[in-house]
A and B are shown apart, each in its own frame.
Chain A
Amino acid sequence: MSDQRIRFYQTGTFTVGNRLLDPSDRAVQASTARANALTSGHRACQGCGEALGARYVLDAAMRATGNQLIAVNATGCLEVFTTPSPETAWQLPWLHSLFGNAAAVATGVAAAMRVKGKPVRVIAQGGDGGTTDIGFGCLSGMFERNDDVLYVCYDNEGYMNTGVQRSSATPPTARTATTPAMGPERGNVFGTGKSLPLLAMAHNLPYVATATVADLHDLEAKVTCAMGIHGARYLHVLVPCPLGWGHPTDETIRMARLAAECGLFPVFEAVDGEVVSSTPIRRRVPVEAYLRGQKRFAHLFDGPTPDPRIARLQALADQNIRRFRLQPEVTP
């Protein structure tokens, strides 16, 4: 029998197939011993990126901590679709208080564990609205005090739970219910918004990372790394939302991959306020390839000529690529 050379990246997607890996390298999610911290039966929409991301994050954190984990949740989709009382999809201790205070509540849980001498770790999680907008004060406080909490933001770039309104994580030009594709500058305007990963880095956190649901191995590895460190840590996960973005429900992973491959969503890690690694773009695509698949950007393509703002978005992607060295082979 002739040898068959195994190529990891044989699916054409650059995704590492679990079955081709050594068992010790396989995803936490591939193991029957996974915690199923967020178990099936919840009420997320079909193709929900957040449900996928949260499942991988929490199971990886459960493995890393030997199931010694408590989760604190901000109000939002993740909270609503997992806990229509009396049902709950959570198989770990879970607390929801309010929209804007998850980071502070997590600080309290961590303080209780410390004072009681229990080696139990704490994750706080929320969407981009609960993180970059209403929860930012509490989050910045938790960061600055270096409280022993991993905060995970599942970023779908808008207030999807309330019907797709703009947040400070909504990209320029994107149509939302409060930045309609109307008027002289359709969709969300340029020159607004903020980068939470960079703001987290400005707090000199021991660990800040970004990830997408297109690279779940990478996501799990970053969670595992984060749980190996004490102090305030921040993980920002891009989770496409078929409802809010307007893409087919089976395109969630592809949209996340395109966001990274066009450069609009840089995937990197930072330690003590400095970027220490970034995930190189293997097959760079123009932003148009990412934008075209989503109805929230449809107004950029409905005229006789290309909307000049596509070039401005491309410039943002190019800047990310330079800034985070996403194409190391290309000299900046």
Chain B
Amino acid sequence: MLKQLECSRAIAEVIARCRPEVICAYPITPQTHIVEALSELCRTGELAPCEYINVESETSALSVAVGASAAGARAYTATASQGLLHMAEVVYNAAGLGLPIVMTLGNRALGAPINIWNDHSDAMALKDAGWIQLFARDSQEAVDLHILAFRLAEELSIPVMVCVDGFVLTHSVEPLDVPSQEQVDRFLPPYHPVQVLDVSDPVSIGAMVGPEAYTEVRYLAHHKQQRALERLPELAAELAVILGRTSGALLHPYRLDDAETIVVAMGSVTGTIEVAIDELRATGLAIGAIALCAFRPFPLVELAQALAPAKRVIVIERSLAPGLGGALASNVRMALQGGAIPVRTVIAGLGGRPITRVSLRRLFTSAAQDALDDLTFLDLDTGAIDRELARWGDQRRSGPSAENLLRDTRRPR
């Protein structure tokens, strides 16, 4: 049933229907509305039995989830940005221990400069921690992916991060369907751990492993990701039957028929890209798009197949790997290795800068004419950059760049 809901509220409600037993939370914008709503659902008894624990840091938030999960409880937490970096050591640890924790990441830029708005810098920073990373293209998929996440996590004993664009999705209000308890129960069985702290059958979990077996342990982490490549589409299909809509996939293709230019992106920018593509298609441009849902595991084969007919690939990158370009584009190039399809990286929407339909249309048009460099920064204010570079050249003590740029952009010119 569709209800006018904020995405965060809907995520909280679907989490509650996934029957988590331990929820631990430390507030960070833009994740707060999710954990606030969950605290309410726990207080009112709507979500029970469940332990809701207010912790003193993100390190503790995920550590509590580690303990709870190892003790056999279904555990959930949510974070964003600096919070993810703060808990980075535990992020790796949870994956290394193979604990099926589900965590929502309200994607947000990383400081410095401090910035609370949306991009994918946080998720990319921990892309190789061993978690499955699923990116929601819209609010409804953000809701549904969480059910999928618990099922996939527990089946493979691997943690899953559901990446939801901060503000753009987390704080948007629109008609959403929160799957019913009966629907969730049909899809998500109770948690049966493969390893558990049990006084009647004591095991040691988290022992030191030397060179004799470390590689094999790491290999199994890779193996689980490979299994997820197979299971994710199957589970998504199963969920689609229950929900009557498609949510979750390795990737979502859009107007790929005879497309010569294919745009690859993740998250909420997909919607704007599709609108721009519709407009360009109407002008006769053969262009399509792929919204990657699974970034880890990365669907190398499926992506290569989908991109095979293209003459060029444009990657809209919501984070920057300074000194290289972008993480997503690097991965896309790996999918296309050995082929002749050029891949162009476009850094866009950093720190919440709007990615407009107009900018995209201009970008795609010039891409279709093969006029793009390998690396492009969408809507970059080159004047501001030139002025700051000039300051660097003029004086040693040129001052903090971020403040200089801000002053420049606010000064009437």
**Chain A interface (Cβ < 8 Å from any Cβ of B):** 67-70, 72-73, 79-80, 83-86, 88, 90-98, 100-101, 104-116, 120, 137-138, 140-141, 144-145, 147
Contacts and interface: CB of A to CB of B under 8 A. Distances in A.
Interface string B62-97: 011111111111010000000000000110010001
B76 to A, nearest CB: 12
Given A111-B22, A112-B22, A141 B56 contact: yes
B330 interface: no
B68 A97 contact: no
Contacts of A73: 206
Given A97-B67, A108-B71, A115-B51, A137 B60 contact: yes
Contacts of B60: 101, 104, 107, 137-138, 141
A100 B199 contact: no
B222 to A, nearest CB: 20
Contact of B72 (A67, A112, A137): A112
Given A97-B90, A141-B56, A104 B205 contact: no
A109 B198 CA distance: 11
B142 to A, nearest CB: 26
Contacts of A96: 204-207
Q: Is the interface of B mostly helix, strand, loop or mixed?
A: mixed
B210 interface: yes
B22 A97 contact: no
Contacts of B202: 90-94
Contact of B53 (A67, A97, A113, A145): A145
Contacts of B204: 83, 88, 90, 93-96
B78 to A, nearest CB: 16
Q: Is the interface of A mostly helix, strand, loop or mixed?
A: mixed
B59 A138 contact: yes
Given A101-B59, A138-B60, A93 B67 contact: no
B271 interface: no
B50 interface: yes
A85 B208 contact: yes
Contacts of B29: none
Contact of A69 (B53, B93, B199, B209): B199
24 contacts: A80-B208, A83-B207, A83-B208, A84-B210, A85-B208, A85-B210, A88-B204, A93-B202, A93-B205, A94-B202, A97-B63, A97-B93, A108-B63, A108-B65, A109-B70, A109-B71, A112-B67, A112-B68, A116-B21, A120-B199, A138-B59, A140-B56, A141-B60, A147-B53
Interface in B186-207: 197-199, 202-207
B67 A108 contact: yes
A108 B207 contact: no
A116 to B, nearest CB: 7
B399 interface: no
Given A107-B64, A108-B75, A112-B69, 7 more contacts: A84-B207, A93-B205, A96-B204, A101-B89, A105-B70, A112-B73, A145-B54
A95 B67 contact: yes
A193 B260 CA distance: 67
A95 B65 CA distance: 13
Interface string B201-221: 011111111100100000000
B199 A104 contact: no
B49 interface: yes
A105 to B, nearest CB: 4
B246 interface: no
Contact of B64 (A68, A91, A105, A144): A105
Contacts of A79: 208
Nearest to B20: A115
Which of B51, B69, B198 has the most chain A CB atoms inside 10 A of its CB? Answer: B51
A114 B51 contact: yes
B208 A111 contact: no
Given A90-B202, A93-B203, A120-B199, A111 B93 contact: no
A13 to B, nearest CB: 36
Interface string B7-22: 0000000000000011
B280 to A, nearest CB: 50
Contacts of B213: 85
B205 A98 contact: no
Contact of B70 (A86, A95, A110): A95
